[in-house]
Amino acid sequence: EIVMTQSPGTLSVSPGERATLSCRASQSVSSNLAWYQQKPGQAPRLLIYGASTRATGFPARFSGSGSGTEFTLTIDSLQSEDFAVYYCQQYNNWPQTFGGGTKVEIK
Amino acid sequence: EVQLLESGGGLEQPGGSLRLSCAASGFTFSSYGMTWVRQAPGKGPEWVSSISGSGGATYHADSVKGRFTISRDNSKNTLYLQMNSLRVEDTAVYYCAKGRQPIDYWGQGTLVTVSS
């Protein structure tokens, strides 16, 4: 099973600043990496797939990069609605596996 | 608009069974693989099972293999998860989700609580 490790666990950011979230895979997942956003009491929502393709409905301030084992989610100029938990997930191998999440909170 | 409506959750004793259903609408159901993902309270998501559009291919996490079975009825646009031999550690919100690789839309979930 591929282990997905996210860092940091919590990120405190002021509105308007940039947030950089990391996700590492225990072995290569090529570009088969997704990011999900989850707000309290809601289901996760697909944010990024194919490591860098933004899903419908998300603005350009969200961007994903990386391949192989190292991935990054960048949120430029954080808005109030961006404070949430972000999970990475690999879908290159079965079983699909999720990271433990990064909570982006208001500083 | 994609809609996924889960039902069938509730309180069950260890060793018991539950069958979750997911009614899908807003897309051509038979053309898409479908997935069940669960999330225990305060934890991250855990992939449980996936099925191909035709139902001919299924995949299960080791933690549920032999106990849970994913299936679908394309004539009814409905996805199922039969859960047998339930354990306390199966307690979670169970999400029905569209897609397999990747999962591109999640329902709102149904709570399964396994407790004596």
pLDDT in tens, chain A (107 residues): 999 999 999 999 999 999 999 999 999 999 999 999 999 999 999 999 999 999 999 999 999 999 999 999 999 999 999 999 999 999 999 999 999 999 999 88
Q: Do A91 and B62 touch (CB under 8 A)?
A: no
Q: Angle at CA B106, nearest 5°, toward A102 and A98?
A: 35
DSSP structural state of residue A82: G
Mutate to test the interface with B, among A88, A91, A93, A102 (most CBs of B within 10 A): A91
Q: Residue B67 burial (CB < 10 Å; 0-12/13-18/19+)? A: middle
Which residue, A12, A85, A29, is CA-closest to B39?
A85
Bridge partners (DSSP) of residue B10 are B112
For residue A84, what are its two tokens? Answer: 């949430």
Measured CA to CA, the distance from residue B80 to residue B94 in angstroms comes to 11
CB A88 within 8 A of CB A34: yes
The full length of chain B comes to: 116
Q: What is the nearest CA distance from A94 to chain B, expressed in angstroms? A: 8
A-B contacts (CB, under 8 Å): 49
Q: With an 8 Å Cβ cutoff, is B66 touching chain A?
A: no
Question: Which residue from B50, B104, B106 is facing A43, i.e. has the nearest CB?
Answer: B106
Q: Kind of pairing, strands A102-106 and A10-13?
A: parallel
Which residue, A75, A56, A57, A73, is CA-closest to A65?
A73
Q: Kind of pairing, strands B110-114 and B10-12?
A: parallel
Q: Do A96 and B104 touch (CB under 8 A)?
A: no
DSSP B52-70: -SSS--EEE-TTTTTTEEE
pLDDT of residue B100: 87
Q: Do A101 and B44 touch (CB under 8 A)?
A: yes
Classified as helix, coil or strand, B33 is coil
Q: Kind of pairing, strands B18-25 and B78-83?
A: antiparallel
Positions in chain B short of pLDDT 50: none
pLDDT in tens, A79-90: 999 999 999 999
Measured CA to CA, the distance from residue A77 to residue A82 in angstroms comes to 10
Chain B residues with CB-CB distance to A91 below 8 A: 100-103
